[in-house]
Every structure is written in structure tokens, then in C-alpha cells.
Chains A and B, each alone.
Chain A
Amino acid sequence: MVILEILNNMKNILVLLFVFGILSCSSEKETEVKPDKVSNDFKFNDLKKEFLADETIVFISESKINSIDLLPKLVVTNSFGTIIVGGEIANAGVQYSLPKIITRKIGLVDWKLVDESIVLQSGTFEILPNISKKNGLESYFGPRSISAGDIDFSMLVVIPSDVYDNPVLDGTTVELRYQFENDVTDVPLETDDLIAWYNVGAPHKSGRILVTALCNGVKSKELTSIVFPANATTFKIDYTRDHAYADGNQIIRFNTSIIKDEFGNVISDGTLVSFTAVNTKGIQLQAVGLSIGGVAIAKMLHPDKKDTWKVKAYVTGAAKSNAINVSFKTAFDDYPVNISKDNRRIIVGPITSFMNQLAPDGLLVRLAINDSDKQRIETKVSTLQNGKVMYYLDPDFYPDGNYEIEIKSAGIVKTYNLNLDGSTD
């Protein structure tokens, strides 16, 4: 195996040496030296300096060499790379025809006639785009969405090309046409550095811009950019609710007026509007609404105690609403607390609401238990059912001793000192 490997490597090395040798030889000898074999008079007839793409390009020499093996080679270089073209013997003499991969590509072409590494003749010519046939038209329009106003724009880039995908000559006219609402605007353009381009500025109204381009009778497809509304401006808010009592159960809905930008466009659907409600204690409550048709709605629960909220809404950074005050009346002023004889069973309620009905299920009742040094031991949170909540201070967790309990519901706090031995202070 190892021997095989070495042999294999040797083979590779030999090939490399061979190629390297050829390369080094050719680079050394690339000077015009008088040829030995081919007569000095092997010359091409006068050549055109400009061709159109796909035009037939044939080099003809009247030389009388009649063996293909003796013919010099034509080395042709364009922007894609270099190829070697061999000659053919024809009636008129010797001719070299360039293949389509050369003749269809525009740009400068260098050629050299080489015989055994001796350059006999060299020159250049240019191939120009051929727009006699129907051409192609690449077009790009972006960004795909812009903001209404005077700053933003979408750019249309058009690249007309001939049928062989060569860009056309600078100065070719391209007609641009764009539509917004009822207006269709024509803009004449000329290609420059292969492309033609135009910035379609955003209108003041939101909507859709459609553009198209025309060049040499060829039309581009329809391209589009969406004009989104600009940033929101000051708006108003309001609220609806079913009653004004702080029952901790009903839902209050805040809504904005139709929010518009500075040009009168309704802001985009889905824009986030954040509502903040500052209560009488200076604590911020929050809710959010997503706009639909410029209106955002946010919902909050009624508080469970008397309170006044100062509510504002923001499209943060862009717009702010007026401030409104929302007051909630207390649903009940007091609630009974019954403590069992051994002080371990505490029943809060029945709690009755504003019409003397039992308060709705789910009202939070917190029971905080502190030890005799007023250190918090535990907070039990429970919810009202049928107007009542029952707590039990388990002797396993609360051995006999003095405790302070704090019952809190609807903002009404009641404190008791319990001696878990049977008596109340």
C-alpha cells in the first residue's frame, strides 16, 4: 500500500514538473523573435475594429500553408478568459473563426497570433451590444415599503440588455412610468454605467406605488412599493365601562380616537399603543392595545378598592394622548371577620357589594401572618367564593403563641392580635 502511494505521488510530481516546465518555457520566450518555420508574411487581412454581438468574426490570411499542423494558433482573450483557436484551410487561404462564446460577449477582445511561442501578430477589437433583436430588461425596485413624507424613497434600477445578456451602451433611453392613486408619471431616463435608475419619492399619502420601465420596446414587469403612513401624531382617548364601582370584576375598555400621521393617514394596523394608569398611590398600571383602523383598545379590570386613575396613552416616541381621570367608587366600605374560639379559624365575609348583593367570586383576600415581633411568617392569598373566605391556622405550622394577622381586601385592612391559646386581645 505504502509503495503504491509513493508511486502515485511520484506520478503527480512528474505531471506537476511537466506543466511547470511548459509554463516557465513559455514565459521566458514571449518576445517577438523571427520565426523559423512559418514564413514572416503570415499576416491577417485588415480587420474591423468594431463588431456587433453575435456577428461572425473570421480572421483570414492568404498564406499558402497547407498543413494544419504547421498553422500558427490564434490566442483570443476577452473578459471571460482566454481560448486558443486553431485555423482551417480554406480556398482563399487560412481562416480562423471565433466561437460564439467570444463573439456574443461585448467588450474589448485581445488577440495574438502565436506560432511555437512566437507572437507573429497581435491586435484588439471591440464587440458592441446588439440591440437589433428584442432585448431583455432587468428591473429592481426597493425597498419594498417606505414611509409617507418627504424623506423616504424607493429606488428603481433598470438594466436593459441585448438578447445575449450584454448591457446596452450608455445613453440608451429608458422610459420610466409610475402610478400612485390617479396619477401616472412618465420619467425619461438614460442608462449610465450599464444601468438606469430613479428614486421614486414617497408621497404624503399612504398607499401603493406601481412602477414599470420601457426600453427599446421591451416592457418590464409591474413592480411595487407600499407607502406606509408616517409616525402617529397626538390623539385622544376615552373609556367605556358598565358601572363605576370598584368591584374587581368588571372590565373597563380604553380606546383611542383614530390615530393619524401628520399627513392625515390612518396609522398602520397593529401599531402598539401603551396605556398607563397612575392610581392615587402614584403606581403605574399598564395595558396595551394594537391599533385597527387607527383605533387601539385596551382592557383592564376594575380595581377592587376605591381609586382614581389618571390614564394616558402613548405611541412611544411619536405621539401621546390627552390625560383622562377615571374614578371608581367603593363597592363596599367594610366586611365582617369572624374568628373561632380557638383563634385558628378565620372567616372573612360575607362581603356584600354596592346593591347588597354578595360580592362576585374571585375577589382577592390576603391574610398576612406576622409573629409577635412583627416579622412576616406567611401571606395566604385566597379568593372569595359565595361572599366568603375561610382561613385555618394549622397548629402544625402555627404552634401556640402570639401572632398578628392582617386581613386585606378591597383596600380595607384589618389587623388582629391572636393568641393561639383560645383568647382574643
Chain B
Amino acid sequence: MKKTNTLLILALIIGIAFHGSGIFFTLEYTYDALIHLFFADHYANSWFEPWDFRWYTGFTVQAYPPLVHQTIGILSHIGGLKFGMFTVGLTAIVLFITGAYRFGLLMTGNRRVAGYTAVLAVFSSTFVETLHIFGQLPSVAALSILMHCLPEIYLWIKTGKYKYLLTSLSLLAVTVTSHHVTPIFGMVFFIFPLLGMAVMDLAREQVNTMKEVTFMVFFASFKKAFWRIVSFGFGSLLLIVFCILPYWLNSKRNPITQVPIPHGSRDNFLEVTSSGLVFLVIPWGILTFLIPYIFYRFFSKRYIFFGLSMALLTILGTGGTTPIPLIMLGETAFNILTLDRFTLWATIMALPIFGEFAYRMVEGDIKVAMQKRFGSVYHRIIGGLLAGGILFMVIFTMSLGYFRPSQPAKIKMLPIVNFLNQDMHDHWRYLPLGFGDQMAWLSAQTKAMTVDGNYHSARRLPELTTRAIERIENSKFRGVEGIGSLQQFLTVPEKYNLKYIFSNDKFYDPILYFCGWQRLQQLENGIMVWEKLNVPPIPAIIPKQDVPRFLKIMWGVIPLLTVVIAFVINIQMIWFRMLKSKKIAPPSYLNHAIAYSGFPQRVITVMHIWAVIILGCIAFGYYQFYMKNTTQIAPSNVVKAYYDAIDFKEFERAFSYIDPDSDATLAQYMLEVSVTDGILSSYAKLDSIGIELSNVTKNSAKAKTATRWITPLEKVSKMYYHELVKKKGKWFIKPSSFDKDIPPDQLFVANTTSFFNHGRRKISTQQTHHEDVLKQPLLEVLSAKLVKYDSQYAIIGELQNIDNVPADVVIKATLYNDNNKELANFNAKYHMKHKLMPKEITSFRVNFEGIAWSQTKDTIPPTFNPDEFTPIELEEQPTKFNLQCAGNVANSDLYKEVALQDMQFTKHGIEGVLFNSGIQEITIPQLLVSYYSNDKQLLWVDHQFLAEGVRVQRKQVFTYEPKNMESIKVINSSLNNCYINGLPNESIGTIIFPNRKKSHETDQFQPYDGEGFDYLKFEMNGYIGNPK
């Protein structure tokens, strides 16, 4: 009668108490957990239907093995989705700890050691990270079950009893249906070495000592076990193919066309230290110090195959630090796989050896050896340090999500869900911005659809698959491609029936405004809702990719069936054991336990040397970190720190870098900061900073600081000059001057015309009542031309709101060739004023953008430039165009009170002043400049954003450099194919504006002696960040 293993029980109690309570505070903030929740929600609502319309304009959930999702889905019917998720999380924790125990027992044959393995598994930093930071539930579950599977496989090879084949295959099937990568790579890295070890043990039983196991003996045993290996191999292959057959068929049908998305695990960890921390230092944790012992044990004869596997995993896990993983995996696999899983497996594989070390350290021969050599106090100190190290790594890892949250603060979804359910808002697609992985949780709670999604392997829209972005939602972190991709969705939202945007990050607001979106309301959770007018609702019938019914049934039935079968088969075994109805021999791996005695002193020496090396590396790294990040230790540090503080809007910190002996006070500084608004101070992210120091003396220096800022609209470069001084060993920045303009009056009066649109006067669940549908405002296209400029085609023109109400204008242009073949279409982006007051005119330009970089995958520019423009590649010469203009009644963003003053033409360009004569602060002013020929015909439309805003009753200077128009070529100026709200342009103009005086417009042109043009026209547009 064997004793209950107290260490295992202890491990389970601690594990469940610690991780079980921990997941309630961590799991929802992890990268992956909410994605799995979304999938689970899909199964909870439509078990057998693999198509989900809610993401990516439709995708199939057969792109991810379903077991964990389906389990959460089933459990959600008891207590909701999150109940399901936490239950599965708890189950995974139990499976992991017991799996580690069984894996430890299999490897060492010693129950005590296995108990230590289980305890250490609870505190393993790699497990903590995978569960509490990454939230990879399927991966954890699959790995745990794989560990349960390993002893059964071993016993099958060893004994050849069919019941073990059955148990091993049944468990493998569960692994396969939970996660696809784990069993495939698990085969290579776990099962192959295990087979080797089993054969080795067979060979060992043929002879008396391990030393006698020669290659011939091993080969003989291999021949004996050959058919067992083959049958298991075929069985498992069959299971991998059969259990998730729909997955494989889907992969074949929808091959992943996604361009590689950068992942931290592929970085050079020495360069990107944050990736190194997350993907190397944390998973290895305290194991780093034991690497000599781990390899010493793994390269003993019995474990030799594990040793090879371990070495491979360790190397692959180093990502881009060395070129070896790239060479070993090849370009494609390297860019598709996330390499952190290799480190995960390596550290899991090391657990039994770690357990063995702990056993020998606590109560075995290492203790004896160390006490003999260094005395018992030293042994205790080392033991305490190791235990302390383990605890430190656990607490450090757990707190990582707290101190450096990977997600934006938790968003209350209910107001958004209510908004989507209201008033048929879910008849359009929506797009969350700045939600992080919480967008999956939002999707799970609504049936409304989004163009975005959070499982990029399932994407199908070329706008997304050609971009190395995770989500559009966080496009600002992916620089040019991100914002470029976002801009395409924002400019042509009709294509995707995209009408609502939930913005949790005001960074995106300017681009929304200039693409013609308008603020609708702020929800009670602080999320701003933006809407776009003139977007048709989603059609009642939308296409989907169907799969044969038998695949749907397989997908819905097999995963849970594998669990039931595995449960019946394996629990029955335990039942037999418990009832002792049959006398069962102890598993044969228990025979291969080794006696832990006489630990070689050599290894202890090596381990000490290794520990010193590691400690040296840590100390050096810390020193480097300190020197780089201590803010006032060197002149360039203080400038960097100052801009870092400005970038993060930590003005008090920024002020602390200002020379304390200057007369600036914090109050004064804050005042000056608060009055500067504009794209740079409110919507920019510092991209790079170059500091050129001059006049460096011991106590002073001058810094010429070149900054590059990412803004949602374009890249802004700005040069700043600073004087730096050193006082009491610290460097400081001298304060610079600010605008001293004061307006003449304290109090202003302004009368404005405001508009309100009821939406629906009649409260009805039906379509908006006929009488509540406003007439579309009438517009008139005054001129429109197809031109070619710098080998780029564009349609330019002028358009007037000829109605009596303000209009929101959408312009869609289509290009045709001589044979009336459609070549391309696109909408006017920000080369126009989207909101027009009655009788207001706007110039416009429609650029034809291709899907950026779809052709030039390998020449993606490395730096950020949201203004980057990819002209569409046209197969033929466009010669004609069609213009569809739509007006809708606008009632917001109608601020027009900007005057253009003090203009001067200099040889360096046009200098001028914008004066804000109204009562709203203009955050981002925009100039639209139209060029005209000597006969006053429109040639080109250009724009310029001003980096700083215009405050109320104040002025802002600008400089504009006119372009050279000599190369412009007008191809077609016909107004024949211009339509307003679907009606011919001409018919509207002749009725509403029969006696148009053309001279009025041309009278307002500014004569200018330019290169290739003779007149200019300036128009002002402005984004108001905080409308009052």
C-alpha cells in the first residue's frame, strides 16, 4: 500500500489557492483570454455553425481548435461566459500540477522527487506568465494533458499492453482538440525523446548496469519496440489529422496570407530588452542559475534524447538574439511561429530535473556534499536564496501586469452594448479604437459586427492581411501600416458598412474628423462615439463560406467526445486501482529510479562559477540601465527625459528638469503648457529624438534637438534649441520663451447659428418614419477635373452647398478608361471641407489609393509616416471619371470663424496669420490651397496642417510654400458624369441656382505669380478638440 503523496496534495492546495484566486485579477487583463472568451461565446450561441460574422466581415472559427472554447461555451450556460472561463482556468491549473507530478514521476521514478516537481510547477515563473500574463488557456490545457499522456506512452512502448496504447491515444486526442501546435511540436520535442528514453530503459533491462548499454544493445531493444513505436506514431498521426480535420481543411482552403506581424519573441533580446525580459528572463526565472545542473542531468545516458530536445528548445527560444533559430526554422516558419513557446516547453521540460535538484538540495546528496564542503550555514543560505529567488520571480511576474499594464484600463462595456442595441445601431458595423484586447470582450457581448478582429490568422480582407498589424484598433502602435490601414477604413467606410467608431484614445480623433466623421455622443463610460453619415446598412443577406455538414458535425462533436472517452478510459483505470479488484503492478518507470548519492563536487564548482557569471551579467545590465535611464546624469539624458515627460504629459516631471534658478515657477510653467494646444501638444507621440550637443563645458552645454513626432495625420519634424546647465551634479534645461500675444478684450460676445436634428420624432421600433427623414441637402459641382500630377492621377474640383441647411459632404470618384471600363474608385479624404454651411464652397481632391504596400511587401518603410501615400496601380490610362456627391444634413463641426490675415509673399513662401475670431479653440487648423491657371481654371488642390492650434481671439502664424504646377496635365474637365444625391448635377444647378454669377468666385482668387499657375485660393478648415 503506497502512501498518499503529501507534497502533491500540498502542491494542489497551494496551487489552487494561489492561481485559483489570482486568475480573477489577472485573466481578464491578459492578451489572449478574452479572445478565447469571444470564441466561447460563438459556440455558446451556435455550436455547429462555424461561421461568425462578427469579426473581419466574417470568418470561420474552424481556424482554431475548439475544445477549450466549447467547454467555456457549455459552462457559460450555467453561470455566464466568465464563469466558464474561470472554471476552465481552474481545471487547467489542477491538470497542470498533476501533470507535472506524473511527468516528474515518469522521468525520475521517485515519488518524492515528483512531489517536489509538482510544488515547483506551482511556482514556476513560466507557468505564472503563460497563465496570468498571456492568458493562453488552450496552450496550458494542451500542455498539461500532454504531460498526463507521456507516462501512458512510455508504458505502451515499454510493456506493449494495448490498454496503454488506448489511454495514451485517448489523452493525445484531447491535446489535439485543445491546441494544434502543442501536439505537433510536442511530438518532436517531448514524445520523440520519450520514445528514446523508453527504448533506453528497455535496453537497460537487458543488461545489468547503465554502462553496459551500448549502441548494439540499444538497437536490439529498438527493434523489439519498433512496431509499438510505429503503431503509436500512426495512431497519433491519425488522431492529429482526424480530430481536427475541419481545421486542416480550412487551412488548406484559406491559407494564411497574412504578412508576418512582428512579435516580441522574434526580437533580438539584447536590443529590445523588454522582449528579453518577457520572453526569456521571466520564463527561465530561477532556472537560469541551475542551467549547468539541468544540462548535466539531461546529458546523462538515460535522458540523452531529452537533452538534445532541451538544447534545441533553449536555442530556438532565444528568438532573434542569435541567427540560429532563423537558420533552423527557415524564413517562413520563423515569421509565423511565436518563439516564446519553445522557451515555455524548455522550462516545463526542465521541471522534473528542477524537482530532482530541489529534492537533492533539501534532503539528498547535494545537501550532504555542500554541507561537507561549505558547512551547513552556507547550504541554508543558498537554499534560502533559491527559495527567495523563486518567490521573487513569482511576485515579479504576477505584478508585471499591475505595474506595466498591457491593456488599457478596464472599460465598462454595458453602455456600448446598449448603444449598439438601440435604434438599430447594430445594422451597421462598428470599430473600436484603443480598446486593446478588450475589443474581444465587447464583440462577445453583442451581435453587432466589426471590421476588426483579434485573431489575425483568420483574416480575409486584403486591407488587413497585407498589413503587419495585429488589429486596426491599436493601429497607432504599428506606425505607418497601422494608420494607413485605418485611414482606408475611415475614408471608404461605405465599402464595409462601417458607421460607428468607439474611441477610447483621443489620438485618433483628428484623423476621424478630417476623414469626415463626426462626434455623436460621449457614452457614460467615457467612450466617444463617432459616426459617419451616408453609410448604407449591412445587407440582410451577407455571404459566408459554408462547409459540408459532416465537417460541422465533426467539429461540434469530436472535441468533447475525446474528453468523455479519455475520462471514461483513464478514470476506469484509477477505479480499478482503487478497488484493487485486480492486482496491478506498479508502473515500470518506477524501476528506473536512481539512487541519489555521492553528488560530484565538480558539478557544484561549475554551478558556482555559472552563478557568478549570471550575477555579473545582471549587475552589468543593471548598470547600463541605470546610466541610460538616470535622467540628469548627462546633458543628453536630461533632454531625452524632458521630451519623454512632455510626450507622456507628465508636466510636473518635465518642470523638474527646468533650471531651478530660473524665475519660472511650476504654476507659470503649467499655465504655459496648458495654453498650447494643437496636433503636436495633444495628439503626437514622440517617434525619435536626435540630440546634437555643442559647447559642452563642465557645467553647460547647448543642445540642438531634432524631434520627430507621430501624429495621426502626418509625420511632424521639429527642431528645438536648448541651453543646458549643470547644478549640484545634475543637468537642467533653461526655460524657453512663449507667445506673449494678448487679445484686446477679456469678455467676448458672439452670436452663432446652431442646428439640431431630432433623429426620430416618433419613437418607433420600425424604420425611421417617412416624415422624419430629412431631405438631402442639394449641392452643386462647380468644376471637376481629372488631372495627372507627378505620375499620380487625381480628381480635383469645387463644390458648393446650394441648399439652405448645412451639409455633410461625401465625394466618391471613379475612374474609367476609353472603353468605359472601371479602373478604380476612392473617396475624398482630407483634401476637402466635409461640413459646408449654406452657400459655402469647398475645393476637393480625390486621390486614388491602392492597398498600401500590397505590391512591395519587402520594402515597407521602417519608419513611421502616416501621410505615406501609395498610389493605386492602374492597368490602363484613365480618361473619364464619375463623381457621386452625397449631402446629408449636418449639425456639428460647423465652426467657420477663422480669418486669414497679414499675408505676405516672400521668396521663401507665403507667410500669413490665421486669426480665430470666434469662441471655439481650433486644435488643428488646416489650409486648403487651390491653384488656378491664367484663365482661372482649377489646376490642383493642396493642403497643409498647422502644427499648433489657434486659441480663441488669437493668431497663429504659418508659412506655405506653393508647389510647382508646370507638370500638371488636365485630362478631362467634363461635368457630364457628376451626380448629386443620385441626380445629375446639371439638373439641380439650373433649378436652384439658375443665374449663377461665375465672377463671384473668380473675384476672390488671389493673383500670384507662381510656377505654372497664376491664382491661388485659400480655404480654412479646423478640428476642434474640445467643442464648448
Residues on A facing B (Cβ under 8 Å): 1-2, 4-5, 8, 140, 142-145, 147, 151-152, 223, 228-229, 231-232, 249-251, 268-272, 274, 276, 281-288, 290-292, 297-301, 303-304, 312, 314-318, 320, 360-362, 364, 376, 379, 381-385, 394-397
Contacts A5-B548, A142-B775, A151-B994; A361 near B839 (Cβ below 8 A): no
When the two chains form their complex, are residues A229 and B804 in contact, meaning their CB atoms are under 8 A apart? yes
Query: Across the interface, which residues of A come within 8 angstroms of B897, CB to CB?
Result: 288, 299
When the two chains form their complex, are residues B838 and A272 in contact, meaning their CB atoms are under 8 A apart? yes
CA distance A320 to B1005 in the complex (A): 15
Q: List 21 A-B contacts (CB under 8 A).
A: A145-B803, A145-B804, A228-B803, A269-B753, A270-B753, A270-B755, A271-B838, A271-B839, A276-B1004, A285-B902, A286-B1020, A290-B837, A300-B899, A300-B915, A314-B1000, A317-B1000, A318-B993, A362-B742, A364-B913, A381-B957, A382-B737
Segment at the interface with A among B85-93, B585-593, B903-911: B903-911
CA distance A316 to B996 in the complex (A): 9
When the two chains form their complex, are residues B1000 and A320 in contact, meaning their CB atoms are under 8 A apart? yes
Query: Across the interface, which residues of A come within 8 angstroms of B1003, CB to CB?
Result: 276, 312, 314, 320
CA distance A175 to B186 in the complex (A): 84
CA distance A303 to B773 in the complex (A): 47
Partner of A316, one of B554, B704, B908, B1004: B1004
Contacts A268-B804, A360-B744; A316 near B903 (Cβ below 8 A): no
Contacts A270-B753, A317-B993; A396 near B804 (Cβ below 8 A): no
CA distance A281 to B896 in the complex (A): 26
CA distance A385 to B738 in the complex (A): 10
Chain B, range 754-791, C-beta contacts under 8 Å to A = 755, 770-771, 773-775, 782
User: What residue in chain A is nearest B751 (Cβ atoms)?
Assistant: A292
Contacts A145-B775, A287-B900, A315-B839; A397 near B955 (Cβ below 8 A): no
Residue from the set A151, A271, A304 with the largest chain B CB neighbour count within 10 Å: A271
Query: Across the interface, which residues of A come within 8 angstroms of B839, CB to CB?
Result: 232, 271-272, 315-318
0/1 string, B979-1007, CB within 8 A of A gives 1 = 00000000000011111111011011111
Partner of A286, one of B840, B905, B998, B1018: B1018
When the two chains form their complex, are residues A396 and B805 in contact, meaning their CB atoms are under 8 A apart? no
When the two chains form their complex, are residues A394 and B740 in contact, meaning their CB atoms are under 8 A apart? no
Judge whether B917 is part of the interface by a CB distance below 8 angstroms. Answer: yes
Query: Across the interface, which residues of B come within 8 angstroms of A274, CB to CB?
Result: 1004
Partner of B902, one of A143, A268, A303, A395: A303
Judge whether B800 is part of the interface by a CB distance below 8 angstroms. Answer: yes
When the two chains form their complex, are residues B775 and A144 in contact, meaning their CB atoms are under 8 A apart? yes
CA distance A151 to B900 in the complex (A): 38
Q: How far is the CB of A8 from chain B (nearest CB, A)?
A: 7
When the two chains form their complex, are residues B800 and A316 in contact, meaning their CB atoms are under 8 A apart? yes
Partner of B837, one of A271, A282, A379, A396: A271
CA distance A314 to B917 in the complex (A): 19
Further contacts, 5 of them, CB under 8 A, given A284-B1006, A320-B1003: A251-B953, A268-B804, A285-B900, A286-B1004, A288-B899
When the two chains form their complex, are residues A317 and B1001 in contact, meaning their CB atoms are under 8 A apart? yes
Query: Across the interface, which residues of A come within 8 angstroms of B903, CB to CB?
Result: 283-285
CA distance A1 to B957 in the complex (A): 75
CA distance A5 to B551 in the complex (A): 10
Judge whether B662 is part of the interface by a CB distance below 8 angstroms. Answer: no
User: What residue in chain A is nearest B738 (Cβ atoms)?
Assistant: A383
Main secondary structure on B side of the interface with A: loop
Chain B, range 520-555, C-beta contacts under 8 Å to A = 548-550, 553-554
Query: Across the interface, which residues of B come within 8 angstroms of A268, CB to CB?
Result: 804-805, 838
Size category of the binding interface on chain B:
35 or more
Query: Across the interface, which residues of B come within 8 angstroms of A291, CB to CB?
Result: 753
Judge whether B694 is part of the interface by a CB distance below 8 angstroms. Answer: yes
CA distance A151 to B743 in the complex (A): 49
Residue from the set B741, B800, B897, B1006 with the largest chain A CB neighbour count within 10 Å: B741
User: What residue in chain A is nearest B753 (Cβ atoms)?
Assistant: A270
Q: How far is the CB of B367 from chain A (nearest CB, A)?
A: 59
User: What residue in chain B is nearest A276 (Cβ atoms)?
Assistant: B1004
Query: Across the interface, which residues of A come within 8 angstroms of B663, CB to CB?
Result: none
When the two chains form their complex, are residues A272 and B896 in contact, meaning their CB atoms are under 8 A apart? yes
User: What residue in chain B is nearest A295 (Cβ atoms)?
Assistant: B751
When the two chains form their complex, are residues A301 and B899 in contact, meaning their CB atoms are under 8 A apart? yes
When the two chains form their complex, are residues B740 and A362 in contact, meaning their CB atoms are under 8 A apart? yes
Residues on B facing A (Cβ under 8 Å): 548-550, 553-554, 694-695, 702, 704, 721, 737, 739-745, 751-753, 755, 770-771, 773-775, 782, 800, 802-806, 837-841, 894, 896-905, 908, 913, 915, 917, 953, 955, 957, 991-998, 1000-1001, 1003-1007, 1018, 1020
CA distance A143 to B804 in the complex (A): 13
CA distance A228 to B991 in the complex (A): 14
User: What residue in chain B is nearest A304 (Cβ atoms)?
Assistant: B902
Query: Across the interface, which residues of A come within 8 angstroms of B898, CB to CB?
Result: 288
Query: Across the interface, which residues of B come within 8 angstroms of A290, CB to CB?
Result: 752-753, 837, 896
CA distance A292 to B750 in the complex (A): 11
When the two chains form their complex, are residues B899 and A379 in contact, meaning their CB atoms are under 8 A apart? no
Q: How far is the CB of B736 from chain A (nearest CB, A)?
A: 11
When the two chains form their complex, are residues B905 and A360 in contact, meaning their CB atoms are under 8 A apart? no
Q: How far is the CB of B183 from chain A (nearest CB, A)?
A: 22
When the two chains form their complex, are residues B1001 and A316 in contact, meaning their CB atoms are under 8 A apart? yes
Give me the 6 closest cross-chain CB pairs, A-B, nearest first: A362-B741, A287-B899, A299-B917, A268-B804, A228-B804, A270-B753
Contacts A287-B917, A301-B915, A383-B739; A317 near B800 (Cβ below 8 A): yes
Q: How far is the CB of B802 from chain A (nearest CB, A)?
A: 8
User: What residue in chain B is nearest A146 (Cβ atoms)?
Assistant: B775
Query: Across the interface, which residues of B come within 8 angstroms of A4, CB to CB?
Result: 550
CA distance A354 to B753 in the complex (A): 38
Query: Across the interface, which residues of B come within 8 angstroms of A143, CB to CB?
Result: 775
Query: Across the interface, which residues of B come within 8 angstroms of A312, CB to CB?
Result: 1003
Q: How far is the CB of B610 from chain A (nearest CB, A)?
A: 51
When the two chains form their complex, are residues A303 and B901 in contact, meaning their CB atoms are under 8 A apart? yes
Partner of A383, one of B741, B770, B896, B1006: B741
Query: Across the interface, which residues of A come within 8 angstroms of B992, CB to CB?
Result: 147, 152
Query: Across the interface, which residues of A come within 8 angstroms of B901, CB to CB?
Result: 285, 300-301, 303
Contacts A318-B839, A318-B997, A396-B695; A285 near B771 (Cβ below 8 A): no
Contacts A361-B742, A384-B740; A286 near B899 (Cβ below 8 A): yes
Query: Across the interface, which residues of A come within 8 angstroms of B751, CB to CB?
Result: 292, 297
CA distance A12 to B992 in the complex (A): 62
CA distance A303 to B912 in the complex (A): 12
When the two chains form their complex, are residues A5 and B805 in contact, meaning their CB atoms are under 8 A apart? no
When the two chains form their complex, are residues B917 and A300 in contact, meaning their CB atoms are under 8 A apart? yes
When the two chains form their complex, are residues A397 and B804 in contact, meaning their CB atoms are under 8 A apart? no
Query: Across the interface, which residues of A come within 8 angstroms of B771, CB to CB?
Result: 144, 223
CA distance A360 to B741 in the complex (A): 8
User: What residue in chain B is nearest A282 (Cβ atoms)?
Assistant: B1007
Query: Across the interface, which residues of A come within 8 angstroms of B1020, CB to CB?
Result: 286
Contacts A147-B992, A300-B915, A361-B740; A286 near B900 (Cβ below 8 A): yes
Query: Across the interface, which residues of B come within 8 angstroms of A282, CB to CB?
Result: 1007
Q: How far is the CB of A278 from chain B (nearest CB, A)?
A: 9
Q: How far is the CB of B405 from chain A (nearest CB, A)?
A: 42
Q: How far is the CB of A398 from chain B (nearest CB, A)?
A: 12
Partner of A299, one of B740, B804, B899: B899
Query: Across the interface, which residues of A come within 8 angstroms of B695, CB to CB?
Result: 395-396
CA distance A286 to B913 in the complex (A): 11
Q: How far is the CB of B902 from chain A (nearest CB, A)?
A: 7
When the two chains form their complex, are residues A316 and B1000 in contact, meaning their CB atoms are under 8 A apart? yes
When the two chains form their complex, are residues B739 and A231 in contact, meaning their CB atoms are under 8 A apart? no
CA distance A301 to B914 in the complex (A): 10
When the two chains form their complex, are residues A250 and B744 in contact, meaning their CB atoms are under 8 A apart? yes
Query: Across the interface, which residues of A come within 8 angstroms of B745, CB to CB?
Result: 251
CA distance A396 to B745 in the complex (A): 41
CA distance A228 to B804 in the complex (A): 7
When the two chains form their complex, are residues B908 and A376 in contact, meaning their CB atoms are under 8 A apart? yes
User: What residue in chain B is nearest A138 (Cβ atoms)?
Assistant: B770
Residue from the set A228, A288, A315 with the largest chain B CB neighbour count within 10 Å: A288
CA distance A332 to B1020 in the complex (A): 32
